[in-house]
Structure 1
Amino acid sequence: MAMPKLERDYNIYMSWNNYQEAIYLPVMPERIELKRKGNGNTYEIVGLGQINTIQARDLAEISFESFFPGRERFPDNMSAGSYVPFLSSEVKKNPAALIQPPTHYVNHLNRWQDSRRPVRFVYKSPVLNISLAVSIEQFDRWEEAGAEGDVSFKLTLKEYAFHTARKIIIEKNPVTGKQKVKQAPKPRLDERVRPKTYTLKPGDDLVKVARLWYSDSSVAKEIQKLNNIPDAQLKNLPVGKVIKLPERK
């Protein structure tokens, strides 16, 4: 009795603005390179010779090459897999719906790169799973003779480290009266692109809006001033009112 063939899962999924836009790369690359370089420093110590101090590693870099197949290569009566054996597992399930024209992928990646916001990169295979916020450092593409309609490309990505100023909390010991200074907890990582305006919903107030988009209730005062909202209206904001949101880097 023949053993059933096990389906292996190979996918590269990329998304932007907290999954508001997303694509599966249709053709898996032959090779994906992940670099995680250490960052040690070497010093010359009199009487000891050289010593090495270990620092935090550099940000990871990911690079690979593949291509976006021209949609005309997959007529409705032919299997996409018969043309390209390395289709991602998710695309194989419904190639007619998930394989888009090359311009679809190129436009998305161009726009994401120009947005100056991080992209979520997810790579899944039987032996390796990667999920990282990354910046698109380089996106090269070209056409090759004999593959009319296809667009070949090379992507170079770099791990993105979320960073923001952290508040300082001063706590006073009720018994001794001594003060203790500590950092506030790290804010939740947020990949969303904050809109320029927000439409108020039932139950909304400016504090809730500030917490939603800035994770900081103190921004409510800034929102109030920006939109010229009087104090008397704060507890009775009209549903559907469009308010401006302050810019933040």
Structure 2
Amino acid sequence: MDNYRIVLYLSDMTMELPVLPDKISVKRALDSSEKTVLELGNVNILKGAKLRQISFSSLFPAGRIPAVSVRQKIHEPLWYARKLRGMMESRKPLRFILLGQDLDINTQMSVESFEYSESYGAVGDIEYKLTLKEWVDYSPRKVTIRQNKAVTGSKKRSGQPKAAPADKAVQYTVRSGDSLWSICQKNYGDGSLYDKLYQANKSAIDKANAGRTVSAPSYQPVSWRNLEYGGVSAGKPVPKYTIYVGEVLTLPPKEKL
């Protein structure tokens, strides 16, 4: 777990978890409904994937213990509890960042629940359980409709494709709010193809991300197993799936991903 860090951001509030959880549970469910059809009986209507939910348990220690994964001075347990309550009560999405090899996650989420308690025998330590849910921006957007001139012959109207053609690749320009998952969901009907889309555009995406780092506190997480403390770090490269507005991706036919 030497390379793992969990950081929460909300406006001017920044918090790195001092003790990493033993495990992180990620829940992705399908939105479906059961209907009764004459002569067929019950059928299951599939609508799409629900929002991703992440939950984990850990503790805020009253002092520095071997399990502490950060080098800087840790805060009092109630400081962390108040910060999380403030993030929850702000009614605003926070940014959840999990850094660590292929498990990198950098997305906006809401605090669904925060439970904490002090156990007998560990006076001062606060044990907690945190549940986060994926947040999607639903604010209204201004749309400008342009009148296109009539075309004749073999000319076609320009614009983003509604779905990737089955016989040839098309170009897609990344828009605000896009991610590889949402692009796959919109164009292929399956967001789980995001890694294959990344592989199809790996050289371009890696080139765009080269040299970019996550704006996180500049310290190196340490191994609590070996009790070896690292030095100061200038930041970790952005997750490999990061894309940028205006970037042009190639969308191959679905069967060729």
* TM-score, normalised with respect to structure 1: 0.55
Q: 1:156 to 1:175 in 2, by over 3 A?
A: closer
User: How far 1:124 sits from its partner (Å)?
Assistant: 2.9
Aligned to 1:128: 103
Q: Secondary structure at the match of 2:109?
A: strand
In the alignment, residue 55 of structure 1 is paired with which amino acid? K
Instruction: Indicate the percent of aligned positions where both proteins have the same amino acid.
Output: 32
Aligned residues: 159
Q: Judging changes above 3 Å, is the alpha-carbon distance between structure 1 residues 155 and 173 closer, same or farther for their aligned structure 2 residues? A: closer
Residue among 76, 82, 88 paired with 1:113: 88
Deviations 1:24-43 (A, max 9, x none): 10111122111111112344
Report the secondary structure of 1:162's partner residue: coil
The alpha-carbon distance between structure 1 residues 105 and 175, as it changes in their structure 2 partners (threshold 3 A), is same
The answer for the alignment partner of 1:22 in structure 2 is 14
1:115-152 CA distance string (max 9 Å, x none): 11101111233452222211111111111111112111
1:64 to 56, 66, 69: 56
- The answer for unaligned runs of 5 or more in structure 1 is 1-6, 75-79, 190-249
AA matched with 2:50: D
- CA drift of 1:53 comes to 3.4
Map of 1:76-95 to 2, 5 A cutoff?
80-81=65-66, 84=67, 87-88=68-69, 91=70, 94=71
Counterparts of 1:11 and 1:110, CA distance in 2: 21
Q: Distance in 1 between matches of 2:18 and 2:131?
A: 17
TM-score (norm 2): 0.54
1:12 maps to amino acid = I
Q: Deviations over 1:19-64 (max 9, x none)?
A: x321110111122111111112344444555544321211111111
Paired with 1:123 and 1:31, the residues of 2 have a C-alpha distance of: 12
Deviations 1:84-129 (A, max 9, x none): 3xx33xx0xx2xx242111221121111111111011112334522
Whole-angstrom CA distance in 1 between matches of 2:150 and 2:119: 76
Provide closer, same or farther for how the CA distance between residues 173 and 15 of structure 1 changes in structure 2, counting only shifts above 3 A.
Answer: closer
Whose radius of gyration is greater, 1 or 2? 1
Match of 1:12 in 2: 6
Instruction: Provide the secondary structure at the position in 1 that maps to 2:141.
Output: coil
| Equivalent in the alignment of 1:245 | none
Letter in 1 for 2:2: R
Q: Could you tell me whether the CA contact under 8 Å between 1:8 and 1:126 is conserved in 2?
A: no
* Structure 2 alignment gaps of length 5 or more: 152-156, 160-172, 178-257
Offset from partner CA, 1:161-206 (integer Å, 9 cap, x none): 1112233433223458xxx9x9xx99845xxxxxxxxxxxxxxxxx
